[in-house]
Amino acid sequence: MNTPLSGTGRLADDLYLVAHHEITGKPHLQPRALGLGLAGGLLGELMLPGAIRLKGGLVVIGDGTPPGDALARSVLSQIGGEREDLAARDWLLFLARTAAGDIARRLGQAGYLTRTAGRRFSRTPRWVPAGPDCAFAPLVRVKAALSTRGPAAAQPLLLGGLAAACGLGHQLALYLPPGAERHLEQAARYLDPSLQELIAQTQAAVDSALLTHRL
Amino acid sequence: MPRTHTAATKPGSVSRALARDRLGVPAVLFFVMAGVAPLTVAAGVIPTAYQTTGLTGIPAAFLVIAVILAIFSSGYVAMTRWITNSGAFYAFISRGLGRVTGVAAALLAYSFLQVGLYGAFGPNAASEAATHLHVHAQWWAWALGAWAVVTVLGLLRVDITGRVLGVLLCAEIAVILAETVSGLAHPGGGHLSFATLSPTALTSAGFGTFGVLAVVAVLGFVGFEQAPVLAEEARNARRTIPVATYFALGMIAVVYAGASWAMAAHAGQAHVVAAAAKQGPGLLFGLGGGALSQAAQVLFLTSLFAAALAFHNCVWRYAFALGRENVLPAALGRTGGNNIPKAASLAQSVTALAVITGYALTGQDPMTRLFFWLVISSPRRAVVSV
């Protein structure tokens, strides 16, 4: 297998892998929740290097260097192309429509997912992890971030926070040591406030979808 | 990158894309009417109401209550503009009267309503099965069977899809209207009486009559208040929600007033109470001939089941929201695989099981004591809280 366990290094890619079964590729979430979580991941990929910021609940362009990959650049140019600054919730809902497919294709290009023919009566192709260890690795990264002494790196904490926000808490509870969820919540408080807000906005969007029967 | 912050003169691609995903009046109306479960009321509540109250002013009550609720709705939907919270009823009541009252009013009302529906499903399924399939089982066996299916579907979070609910809803309304027309075309005594539609019927047995009839009529409208739940998802909340609410009120009023009038006209005003006691839901089914009657009976069972599932889903969403806000234990606010709040779903299932078992063990009549009492008492609770 030529794909390293360290993954692509991209937040949304890791979140995608956590959100799907490491062998069958079946999602652990309802489609809308998955989309919203991955949308949060895409926004997070731009927020970590400072290419965008959250200001008063609105997504604004920042001064940081944008990431190199095509999908992140495309999201950034969409944000930059709008006439006015839109609320984080609007971007989450907008990106949620296409996030899963886009990220699956990105992972496919990087060799972490392979495309298989869909089920007999379904036209959509299924993406299956190329190897279960690589699919499982993001959870190991979250666990490692929680066990380090001293301040943990932002990306694995953000990954854990977004995973919990879109409804993967039960997955985290299965594979992380007991008490890890609470530890994650506490550690997340040391994240940059705008990253914490991203997690909160994602959670609010998912809960709202559940309550309005869209989920 | 410089960015102008002047107001956009036309919506950008994001707003357009999001607007396409939003719900219009038909979608909201379908959602509301599905929760109203018209055949459940027309065949379940109305005959039982005739029988239990002994009063004949039910058609008039529907019309009067529709007007009163329309006046109430103007304030209710106006609140949606200020309080966009998917808890709707709970959110409004808790702003006014405090959280605890909000919980009691909304959650208990819907919870009891949901359990009460098994009290109608059980005996009617039992009699249908006995007549057509020659299967003889107690009402509670059928009720528990329906309970088991709802529990499993509720844990798998399988909602009856909007399309199926839409088809069932249209069929129910069509059947009720057909039965109504048939009943009005064959009035008892040969001549059609409008007496039960007149306001004098509202005070036929003294002033308290109106109170009793009002409670029954309000029950028919339960579900119409759900439109604001979808306010965040509506295309233009200020217009979509009120329009859907008033439309729903109008439809409900016409359908139920018509059906209850047809029942009284067909049986004769003096005999309708006795006929209701004897026939139960058959009071509606018997308005039409063989095939129509049979279709109505089958749809009645599907309507009850769909309503039980719909309200089950409504209750666990409330419990989930309250668990998230820590008004109820936080465990109810957690989701498991597939974003299913299993604890919240199970909590309602356990409540329902306890109530059904209690009624089965004490041998009380399910239609009048489980269905009518629990389903009637819930809107009374909600009305009192408001």
pLDDT confidence bin for B4, thresholds 50/70/90: very low
Q: Which of A97, A170, A215 sits opposite B337 (nearest CB)?
A: A170
B7 has a pLDDT exceeding 60: no
Per-residue pLDDT tens for B338-375? 898 999 999 999 999 999 999 999 998 888 888 887 87
Residue B312 CA to residue B124 CA, distance in Å, equals 20
Q: Do B324 and A207 touch (CB under 8 A)?
A: yes
Residue A98 CA to residue A93 CA, distance in Å, equals 10
Q: Is residue B6 situated within a structural domain?
A: no
Q: What is the DSSP letter of B364?
A: -
Q: Do A85 and B3 touch (CB under 8 A)?
A: yes
Q: Is residue B17 situated within a structural domain?
A: no
Residue A63 CA to residue A48 CA, distance in Å, equals 12
Domains and CATH numbers, chain A: 11-210 (1.10.3630.10)
pLDDT of residue B380: 57
pLDDT of residue B280: 86
Quote the tokens at residue B146: 């329906």
pLDDT of residue B5: 39
Residues contacting A151, CB < 8 A, separation 6+: A190
Residue A12 near residue A38 (C-beta atoms within 8 A): yes
Q: Is residue B3 situated within a structural domain?
A: no
pLDDT of residue A89: 94
Residue A52 near residue A85 (C-beta atoms within 8 A): no
pLDDT confidence bin for B8, thresholds 50/70/90: very low
Domain that holds residue B226: 22-385
Pairing mode, if any, of strands A113-116 and A58-61? Answer: unpaired
Taking CA atoms, what residue in A is nearest to B315?
A: A211
pLDDT of residue B223: 80
Quote the tokens at residue A51: 């290419």
A9 has a pLDDT exceeding 50: yes
**B359 Cα to chain A: minimum distance (Å):** 32
**Region B130-152 average pLDDT:** 93
Residue A181 CA to residue A183 CA, distance in Å, equals 5
B32 has a pLDDT exceeding 80: yes
A213 has a pLDDT exceeding 50: yes
Q: Is residue B244 situated within a structural domain?
A: yes
**Region B25-48 average pLDDT:** 87
**B331 Cα to chain A: minimum distance (Å):** 12
pLDDT of residue B325: 81
Quote the tokens at residue A98: 């296409």
Residue with tokens 């063990």: B361
Taking CA atoms, what residue in A is nearest to B231?
A: A212
Closest CA to A206 of A15, A12, A36: A36
Residue B319 near residue B348 (C-beta atoms within 8 A): yes
Query: Which residues of chain B are within 8 Å of residue A90 when distances are taken between CB atoms?
Result: 14-15, 18
Per-residue pLDDT tens for B254-280? 999 999 999 999 988 889 899 998 988
Per-residue pLDDT tens for A29-70? 999 999 999 999 999 999 999 999 999 889 999 998 988 899
Considering chain B, what is the average pLDDT of its residues? 84
Residue A76 CA to residue A50 CA, distance in Å, equals 11
Query: Which residues of chain B are within 8 Å of residue A81 when distances are taken between CB atoms?
Result: 12-13
Per-residue pLDDT tens for B199-235? 877 877 777 778 888 888 888 888 888 888 888 888 8
| pTM for this model (two decimals) | 0.84
Which residue pairs, CB below 8 angstroms and at least 24 apart, start in A125-132?
Answer: A126/A25, A127/A20, A127/A25, A128/A23, A128/A24, A128/A25, A129/A17, A129/A20, A129/A22, A129/A23, A129/A25, A130/A1, A130/A3, A131/A1, A131/A3, A132/A22, A132/A23
Q: Is residue B12 situated within a structural domain?
A: no
Complex ipTM value: 0.87
Per-residue pLDDT tens for B76-116? 888 766 665 555 555 555 566 666 666 667 788 889 889 99
Residue A43 near residue A100 (C-beta atoms within 8 A): no
Q: In 10 A of CB A204, how many CB atoms?
A: 16
Taking CA atoms, what residue in A is nearest to B322?
A: A211
Residue B273 CA to residue B58 CA, distance in Å, equals 11
Taking CA atoms, what residue in B is nearest to A83?
A: B8
CA-to-CA separations, B137 to B89, B279, B302, B359, in angstroms, rounded: 39, 20, 19, 16
Per-residue pLDDT tens for B37-73? 899 889 988 998 898 888 888 999 999 999 999 998 8
Q: Do B336 and A170 touch (CB under 8 A)?
A: yes
**Region A82-100 average pLDDT:** 95
Phi and psi, residue A45, nearest 5°: -60, -30
Residue A22 near residue A129 (C-beta atoms within 8 A): yes
Quote the tokens at residue B221: 């409208």
Interface A–B counts its CB contacts (< 8 A) at 80
Rg of chain B (C-alpha set): 22
Mutate to test the interface with A, among B157, B160, B335, B340 (most CBs of A within 10 A): B335
pLDDT confidence bin for B6, thresholds 50/70/90: very low
Q: Is residue B242 situated within a structural domain?
A: yes
The Cα diameter of chain B in Å comes to 83
Q: Is residue B11 situated within a structural domain?
A: no
At B256, which CATH number?
1.20.1730.10
Count of domains forming chain B: 1
